[in-house]
Amino acid sequence: MKDTLYCIGSVLLSLLLALMSLRYITHVWLLAFVYSFQIHFALAAIAGCLVLLLLKRHWYAYLLLTIAVMLLGHGFIMLREFAATPARANTPPLFRVMSFNIEHENFSNAGRIADFVIASNADVVNILEAAPLRPYIARLSSTYPYHIGCGEEINQCDTLVLSKRPFIEKKVASLGKLWQNRLTYSAIDFDGTKISFLVAHLAKPYFDDFQADELVDLASATVAIDAPLVLTGDFNSAILDPRIQRFMRTSGFHTVFPEPATWPIKARDFGISIDHVLARAPLRLKSVERIEDNMGSNHLGLMAEFALSS
């Protein structure tokens, strides 16, 4: 019986580790979910290998355990790769940004979300799937008199950008060919420094190669901006995904380590970050914190403070 269980377990763990390892050979979009959860699956594989060793001390179980540990270790290395040294604690923040995918059918909580936004003390608020907030634009305008989306620049309400300060520049564009108008650009003057903002909402990575095309367009948009730059949004992928890794390397963005997990909401700290707040030098992230109340959304929001490198 033990030999049979050992055999079955070895086959299943071998398949799992093989699927995880495919990232080092080629990118298979059907496995994007596996790539984003590399650390989670590696931990599961380690636990499985330990069970195998309890059943039978065999060299193959030790081999699987070694591979699983290597995949786990590389997962943590990849998470740390884009983490820059945060701004010093005594450095005053230049501005504060909130980013939150509130879920497009979350109408019952829209009033509460609007009140939270007004009380957030954020200078810029980026709301994705913002349709529930359309009836509250007038209320939000008392604190955030400038906005993009939901009738300003574009009637569509997928992305809503709110600002306490006037926009120097603003534009809505598209990424790839699957969805339209999911990239918002704006520039704001903060005490004499022009700061550029991009808000992106990417397709799910297992929708064929649409996300790959969107990342190409997003990279082109970042190259065209020479001012200090902030990129926030719902990428639908963790930084562990090979395509997100490639984008980060070519675009020069950095983030914090560890990034707060934002999905799935029930997993809390044990989930993954598919919503990102990224900065490009000379901007530095001073802090990125998770908004613990999801307010009916299937994502958790983020609040970030930024400072300029001294």
User: Among 80, 112, 141, which residue terminates a domain?
Assistant: 80
| 238 and 105 in a common domain | yes
pLDDT in tens, 120-177: 999 999 999 999 999 999 999 999 999 999 998 899 999 999 999 999 999 999 998 8
pLDDT at position 230 over 90:
yes
Average pLDDT in the chain: 93
Coil vs helix vs strand at 42: helix
- Which residue do the tokens 């939000």 mark? 140
Shared-domain flag, residues 158 and 245: yes
* pLDDT of res. 61: 94
Is 88 domain-assigned? no
Structure confidence at residue 227 (pLDDT): 86
Amino acid (one-letter) located at 202: L
According to the model, what pLDDT value does residue 54 have?
Answer: 93
**Element at 59 (helix H, strand E):** helix 59-80
- Whether residue 86 is contained in a domain is answered as no
State the average pLDDT over residues 38-55.
Answer: 96
Whole-Å CA distances, 262 to 84, 145, 166, 192: 20, 28, 30, 33
Provide the token pair at 240.
């562990």
Domain with 76, as residue range(s), is 2-80
Do 105 and 21 have their domain in common? no
pLDDT band at 90 (very low <50, low <70, confident <90, very high): confident
Q: Looking at residue 260, which CATH number applies to its domain?
A: 3.60.10.10
Same domain, 199 and 225: yes
More confident residue, 261 or 191: 261
243: in domain: yes
Verify that 144 and 242 share a domain, yes or no: yes
Same domain, 251 and 226: yes
pLDDT at 208: 75
Q: Are residues 32 and 137 in the same domain?
A: no
Residue 90 counted as domain residue? no
pTM: predicted TM-score of the whole model, two decimal places: 0.93
Number of domains in the chain: 2
Q: How far is 286 from 308, CA to CA, in rounded Å?
A: 9
Q: Are residues 116 and 60 in the same domain?
A: no
pLDDT band, very low/low/confident/very high, at 206 (cuts 50, 70, 90): confident
pLDDT, one tens digit per residue, over 57-66 is 899 999 999 9
Q: How far is CA 25 from the centre of its chain?
A: 24
Same domain, 6 and 142: no
Indicate whether 89 belongs to any domain: no
Q: How far is Cα 250 from Cα 264, in angstroms, rounded to an integer?
A: 28
Of residues 186 and 92, more confidence is placed in 186
Q: Is 297 helix (H, G, I), strand (E, B) or coil?
A: coil
Name which of 1-5, 114-118, 233-237, 305-309 the model is least confident about.
Answer: 1-5
Segment 99-105 shows an average pLDDT of 97
Percentage of the chain surpassing pLDDT 70? 99
- Whether residues 63 and 112 share a domain: the answer is no
> Is 144:162 a contact under the CB 8 Å cutoff?
yes
Q: Which of 51, 80, 109 is the last residue of a domain?
A: 80
Residue 292, classified by CB atoms within 10 Å of its CB into exposed (0-12), middle (13-18) or buried (19+), is exposed
Q: Given the DSSP bridges, would you call strands 229-234 and 193-201 parallel, antiparallel or unpaired?
A: parallel
Last residue of a domain, one of 30, 56, 80: 80
Q: Does any domain span residue 32?
A: yes
Instruction: Give residue 310's pLDDT band: very low, low, confident or very high (50, 70, 90).
Output: low
Indicate if the pLDDT at residue 289 is higher than 90: yes
CA 79 – CA 254 distance, rounded (Å): 11
The answer as to whether 85 is a domain residue is: no
Q: 68 with 209, same domain? A: no
pLDDT at position 85 is 78
- The gap from C-alpha 184 to its chain's centroid, in whole angstroms, comes to 16
- Find the mean pLDDT for residues 207-230: 92
Residues 105 and 76 in one domain: no
